[in-house]
Every structure is written in structure tokens, then in C-alpha cells.
Amino acid sequence: MAVSSRTRVGIVGAGPAGLMLAQLLSLRGIDSIVIENRSREYCEARQRAGMLEAGTVAALRAAGAGKRLDAEGLEHDGIYLQFSGERHHVNFRELVGRTVTVYAQTEIVKDLIAARLAAAAPIEFSASQVSVSGVTTDAPVLSYVDAAGVAHEVTCDVIAGCDGFHGISRPLVPGLSVYERSYPYAWLGILADAAPSTDELIYSRHESGFALYSMRSPDVSRLYLQVPAEEDLQAWSDDRIWAELQKRFGLPGWSVSEGRITDKSITPMRSFVAGPMRHGRLFLAGDAAHIVPPCGAKGLNLAVGDAIVLASALSALLVEGSPALADDYSDACLRRVWRATHFSYFMTSMMHVLPGDPFDDAIQRAQLRYVTSSHPAATSLAENYSGYDSPVVGG
Ligand code: RFL
Ligand code: PHB
């Protein structure tokens, strides 16, 4: 016999989308439960995003999760774009009056989990057999087996599918339209105990391939290399990685500072948008509905944006009995998602090298020349990178 309980919102997944939604609902006095199939340790250590739009920073502050972000986040005025042996700064603060902030997704997840636990609000890690039923009724059920092996059935008003790209929620939406693009390359990412030798991120297009210089703190660098899709991580010794990074970023008198590599992984690249993001009483948010390639740093920001829009929509629906925002949820999110999908595609296509394609090579360098020399073109890049049309908490 399963243990039965009731809450207003059942949230599947304790990534940024699910945790932010839970936090925003709790600030509005709406009860929820978060069910996660991985352990807390795993969720808090999973290396992913690092760059936050201005609107995401404001939203985390408004959600009461901005204290450590304000103390430890690294605020940047812009980014560097490097190509043909030149490095150009694109200054977002000057161009659009906004900045961006480096603060790792791992830290956001830790901060939001800590807030949830401090409020003694329900969150289950290491759950198994997670399933959702009855989403076209007004009492959908979230079922799972907890870490101790006890089965639970939680009757909810609404279910939020925040369970990432490989979750169980998206397949529950019938007649989904899917738009997809894969790219013939991947990113090899490393984390290194090395003080960054740059003050802001460098996106470098080199004839050997793209490279990104990012960071996590004044002592830790996060670096990425374009590698072929399906690349074998074993083919990349630490020495080979550093040599390739030095080559792709190197400028006369400047080099990458090296250190101990503490994490190494390969990420495939994909653009994916699925809609509608709602079926009955099931709402999808974040990577469960859309994926962007990481060049341009949009994925985490989109996930937080969905959570903000969904929290307002569910508050109107469940507290005021007004369905208008919930009915508009999918369209409102998809407008923002498609803008970011185009921007990520634009950045990815401009920066990555397709060997043996001289036309592509010339087009990319012409585009890079344009965005680093034309004020309107640089302004467009700055507007998109720093966050166009970000939703506002409580808005
Ligand atoms: P997540 O983070 O994948 O969280 C989903 C959670 O759901 C859990 N789950 C389940 N739980 C219960 N039952 C099930 N059946 C479940 N199935 C799955 C999972 O364990 C997980 O905890 O999705 P969410 O919340 O939508 O957040 C999305 C972001 O994580 C993602 O978009 C970003 O990390 C993308 N991304 C970046 N985004 C940025 O905005 N800026 C960046 O700088 C940036 N860099 C990156 C990135 C993603 C990367 N990788 C590895 C994909 C760099 C990389 C390398
Ligand atoms: C990161 O710091 O992990 C990062 C930053 C910018 C990107 C992608 C990833 O475009």
C-alpha cells in the first residue's frame, strides 16, 4: 500500500527549473513537493552552466537566493571575441546598460536546496519509479518510491515537469511538435585549479576549432574545446588538452594559465524545442521542453525564466482561480525560447569551425568582423547575450 498525501504542486526534478519554481511558489505561500531521482550530492556536484543573465541574477535575489551570489559571483561587463589573431571586447554595460555574472549552476542548486531545507519544505532525493498520471483531470497524481523503499502517491492540483531532457514528463504531452537541429561537433569541458588569465570570458575562433575560456572563481578556470561529435574522451590526455588550449587562445605575450584538471567531460550539441509546454494540468519547464547548444549561455537562464513565468501563472490559477496566465504559459515561454534558440544557433554557427569549408570560414570571419566593428551589430549581440525580455519575479 502506497502512502497517500496531498499538495498543490508536484514538481518532478531538482534542477534549476524545479528548485526555482518551488522557491517562488513557497514565497507565495503555495505548497509543493520536489521529487528527484538522483542523490542530493549528485545534483550539487553536476558541472554545467556558469554564466547568468542580468535578469537571472535579479530573479535569484528576488527569490531570496542571492546572498552568496552577491558575495561570490563575478560580475562581467562583457565578453571577448577572438578571431584571426585579434581579441575584441564587446562591452554590454556600455552598449545596453546590463552586465552578466559568473556563478556556477552547482552553487545555485546548492543555494536553492539549502533554502528549501531551511523552510522544512518537502524535497525527496534518490526517488525511484517516479511517474505521473491523471494530468487531464483536476487531481493529477505523482507517484514514487522514496530512498527507504516506501511507495508514495501524492495527489496534486498541478504537476510541473522540470525533469530535464531525458525526463518522464515530456512524453506525457500528446501531439507534441518537435523542432530539432544537431551539430557536427561537441564540447570537451574541463575544470582546472588555475587562476584565470583573463578578466572576462573569451570566445575564440581558431582554424583548429572553437575554444571558450570561462571561470568559476578567482582560482578555478572552466575551459572548453570544440571536438568532433562522438569524440572519445580517452583520446584527450591533460597534456593534449593544454597544448590545444594554448594554440586556440594564444596571442603574442599572452598564454593560458595551467593547473590540475579536476573534471573532464564531453557534451554533445543540440537545438531542440518542443511545444506546447502544457497538457491539461501538466506544465513543462526548462530542459524538459527545450535545449540550446551552450555557446551563448542560454540554457540555465531559460530554465529560470520558465520557472518565473510558471510561478506567476500557477499563483493566478490556484490562488485567484484565474486561468489566463496558465493558458498563455506555453506561448509566452516559447516566444522567449525561440529568441534564445536563434541566438545560440547564431553564436554556435559563427564560432565553430567546419574543416575543409572555405566558404563557411570566410562567412564566419566576415560576421565576427561585423559584430566587433559595427555598433548596431555589437548592440544586438549584447542585448541577446545579457538577456532579452527576461521575465521578472512577481511580474
Ligand atoms: P536539469 O538541470 O537537467 O534538471 C532536471 C532534473 O530532473 C531530474 N530528473 C528526474 N527527477 C525525478 N524523476 C525523473 N524521472 C527524472 N528525470 C530527471 C534530473 O536528475 C535533474 O536533477 O534541467 P533544468 O532544471 O531544466 O535546468 C537546465 C540547465 O541545467 C541547462 O539548461 C544548463 O546547464 C545548460 N548550460 C548552460 N546554461 C546557461 O544558461 N549558461 C551556461 O553557461 C551553460 N553552460 C550548459 C552549459 C549545459 C552544459 N551541459 C553539460 C549540458 C555548459 C554545459 C557543458
Ligand atoms: C560556463 O562557464 O560553463 C559557460 C559560460 C559561457 C557559455 C557556456 C558555458 O557560453
Q: Per CATH, which fold does 3-53+103-179+270-352 belong to?
A: FAD/NAD(P)-binding domain (3.50.50)
User: Which pTM value belongs to this model?
Assistant: 0.97
Q: Quick one: pLDDT at residue 197? A: 96
Q: Quick one: pLDDT at residue 395? A: 79
Q: From the CB of residue 238, how many other CB atoms can be counted at a distance below 10 Å? A: 13
Catalytic residue among 16, 76, 144, 196: 76
| Nearest alpha carbon, ligand 1 atom 37 | 49
Cell, residue 322: 484565474
- The closest ligand to the CA of 285 turns out to be 1
Q: Quick one: pLDDT at residue 189? A: 97
Identify whether 88 is a catalytic site residue: no
Q: Quick one: pLDDT at residue 157? A: 98
Whole-Å CA distances, 386 to 52, 59, 109, 277, 383: 8, 14, 21, 25, 6
**Dist. CA 189–CA 265, nearest whole Å:** 5
- Provide the pairing of β-strand 151-155 with 3-6: parallel
Q: Quick one: pLDDT at residue 1? A: 86
Q: How far is the CA of 287 from the centre of ligand 1 (A)?
A: 6
Identify whether 80 is a catalytic site residue: no
Contact 387, 300 (CB under 8 A): no
- Please list the ranges in the chain whose pLDDT falls under 70: none
Q: How far is the CA of 326 from the centre of ligand 2 (A)?
A: 32
Q: Quick one: pLDDT at residue 49? A: 84
Nearest CA-CA partner of 282 in 367, 148, 168, 386? 168
- The closest ligand to the CA of 102 turns out to be 2
Q: Quick one: pLDDT at residue 10? A: 98
**Dist. CA 167–CA 267, nearest whole Å:** 18
- The closest ligand to the CA of 299 turns out to be 1
Q: How far is the CA of 192 from the centre of ligand 1 (A)?
A: 21
Q: Quick one: pLDDT at residue 382? A: 98
- For a mutational test of ligand 1's pocket, the pick from 46, 51, 210, 300, i.e. the residue with the most ligand atoms closer than 8 A to its C-beta, is 300
As for ligand 1, residues whose beta carbon falls within 6 Å of it are 12-18, 35-38, 43, 48-51, 105, 130, 162-164, 167-168, 187, 189, 267, 286-287, 294, 297-301, 303
Q: How do residues 127-163 score in pLDDT, each as one tens digit?
A: 999 999 999 999 999 999 999 999 999 999 999 999 9
**Dist. CA 241–CA 246, nearest whole Å:** 9
Q: Quick one: pLDDT at residue 151? A: 98
Burial of 344 (0-12, 13-18, 19+ CB in 10 A): buried
Contact 203, 296 (CB under 8 A): no
**Dist. CA 194–CA 258, nearest whole Å:** 6
